[in-house]
Amino acid sequence: MSGGESHPEPLVGPVVLIGPPGAGKSTVGALAARRLGLPFLDLDDEIARAAGSSVDELFVAEGETSFRVREAAALHAALDGRNVVIAAGAGVVDAAPNRTALARAHVIWLDVDDDTALLRLAGARPWLPADREEQRTAYRLREARRRALRATLAAARVDGRAAPDVAAAALSDVVAALPLPVAEWRGDALAEPRVVERAAAEPSGLVAGGLALIDDGVPQAVPGVRLPGGERSKTTAGLERVLRVLHASYGRARARQDAEPIVAVGGGAFLDVVGTAAALWRRGTPWIAVPTTPLAMADAALGGKTALDLDDTKNALGAFHAPDETQLWLGFLASASAVQLADGQAEALKHAWLTGTPLEDKAEPARWVRRSLAIKAGVVARDPRERGLRRALNLGHTVGHALERVHGLSHGEAVRRGLLATLWLSEELLGLDRAVSSWLRPTVAALGPLPPFALDAERAQQALSRDKKGGRFVLLAALGRPVLVTPPAALVPEALAVAARGTELPP
Ligand SMILES: NC(=O)c1ccc[n+]([C@@H]2O[C@H](COP(=O)([O-])OP(=O)(O)OC[C@H]3O[C@@H](n4cnc5c(N)ncnc54)[C@H](O)[C@@H]3O)[C@@H](O)[C@H]2O)c1
């Protein structure tokens, strides 16, 4: 890359290196992080910094139990969704709560055999006198137990016997190719964040309990208070309207305020405005999201980012306030227009590219809605506050949001045009394989025509400069490998132009 722009940051979330003492986790981890353009964090350093003394001193002064408590706290704090390589201590796998916490990270095992480890450790660890036979036997027994635990936790194993730069090269290759985490459907539910699919013939049972607010564009008969939906409701005025309904309703039935959630039934815009109201009402009230459009089902109803637009800035205001539950009822799809389906497919296509596939089942909404929910759930469970990994979900959205606000496009059309700009920038800046982009580009066009329009370049640039992502775009280093990049300013107008040119006709 030429000067000025940042090194691409792989959107992988936290990567934790585990392995025996002496495997080289700190050295190899730091080298690999540098190669990848990721920050590096040594858990022992974090523990020492918090305690104000070295790990060896802590072991001697406080004993192992106290050290393990500190280690668990440091691990927990480190797993906040950032894209970072973390070297953990050999004993981190011993505690069950640590093993549970590691489910929020990609775990990679840097391995060496016992003899190599003991040779490397001789004299290096005061708490592990490697010259005494009984200590060596105890070491081997403990490590045998840990090996079994590491095998269940690790997504990959890297040979730590090689020279550090060789091991670091192997490790960085593994990290760069890590897949996006995807949650697993168990029957008709996802565990975290919670999604439940309802199979009822009618939508009435969806809003049992709680105050139900219904998007007035929902044609199905759902009991509750109907309020305006759509993008034009996603404003401070729309928010006030919802808050006044809550005020009036909760004022009349005070019993409601403690237990019952607000149930929001509607499209993505409606869920955004009601979710924002739920975040503000009594400083945060539980709510349930019931998406009624394909896009809201595939994306907006999950993850707890709520938003309002302000002037020409899309999603300028909002909160992180996750619904307690998302209820999926596919029956709402029956009334979706072709445009609404294409809007939902745009987000499903984004999810598919992020996980390394095109969108082969676009004619089967039940499949791509469920898959999209599982992908989004996997990502937001690891990074609920968008510290790192979750930024991947903005693929196509930086350019898309600017066009959506300035040219009044539907969210889905804006995202599809944003995905075209993403492919172009990824080719220009990251050398995305043209065979891949030529394969993906028609999958955007296949969702519906994107005719060229006259771009208001100045206002689109202004809208881009107000984007919350600070000029950083999610691009694809390869299919399924999202990275964060600050493109050189000179390329941004052309990226907008690519999006505005669109594609004349579906192939
Ligand atoms: N919070 C998030 O994480 C997130 C993620 C993606 C998108 N979004 C937001 O979602 C919005 C787009 O959502 P959308 O595509 O659902 O558009 P939308 O909410 O504007 O809804 C489109 C239209 O469909 C109507 N509608 C609702 N239910 C219907 C049904 N069952 N049948 C027919 N029509 C129905 C609505 O009243 C509206 O007029 C954007 O504002 C976008 O920013 C939010």
Would you identify the CATH topology of the domain 395-507?
Dehydroquinate synthase-like, alpha domain (1.20.1090)
Task: Give the whole-angstrom CA distance, residue 239 versus residue 228.
Answer: 11
Residue 94 dihedral angles phi and psi, to the nearest 5°: -65, -40
- The tens digit of pLDDT for each residue in 456-480 reads 999 999 989 887 677 899 999 999 9
Please give the number of the atom of ligand 1 that sits closest to the Cα of 229. 37
Please give the number of the atom of ligand 1 that sits closest to the Cα of 347. 6
Predicted model pTM = 0.93
> Looking at the chain, which residues constitute the CATH 3.40.50.1970 domain(s)?
182-350+362-368
> Looking at the chain, which residues constitute the CATH 1.20.1090.10 domain(s)?
395-507
Which residue's CA is the closest to the ligand 1 atom numbered 14?
268
- The tens digit of pLDDT for each residue in 316-374 reads 999 999 999 999 999 999 999 999 999 999 999 999 999 998 788 889 999 999 999 99
How many A from CA of 343 to the centre of ligand 1? 9
Kindly report the average pLDDT of the chain as a whole number: 92
Name every protein residue with a CB atom under 6 angstroms from any ligand 1 atom: 215, 217-219, 229-231, 234, 266-270, 272, 292-293, 295-296, 299-300, 303, 305, 307, 315, 332, 335-336, 340, 343, 411-412
Out of 202, 206, 213, 215, give the residue to mutate to test ligand 1, the one with the largest number of ligand atoms within 8 Å of its CB: 215
- Checking 91-94 for CB contacts under 8 A at 24+ apart, the result is 91/64, 91/146, 92/16, 92/18, 92/43, 93/18, 93/146, 93/149, 93/150, 93/153, 94/68, 94/146, 94/149
Amino acid code (one letter) for 332: F
- Report CA 420 to chain centroid distance, whole Å: 21
Which residue's CA is the closest to the ligand 1 atom numbered 25?
217
Q: pLDDT value at position 123?
A: 61
CATH class for the region spanning 182-350+362-368: alpha beta
Q: Percentage of the chain with pLDDT > 90?
A: 81
Which residue's CA is the closest to the ligand 1 atom numbered 6?
300
> Looking at the chain, which residues constitute the CATH 3.40.50.300 domain(s)?
9-176
- The tens digit of pLDDT for each residue in 240-289 reads 999 999 999 876 655 455 568 999 999 999 999 999 999 999 899 999 99
| Multiple choice CATH, 9-176, 3.30.300.250, 2.30.40.10, 3.40.30.10, 3.40.50.300 | 3.40.50.300
Q: pLDDT value at position 3?
A: 40
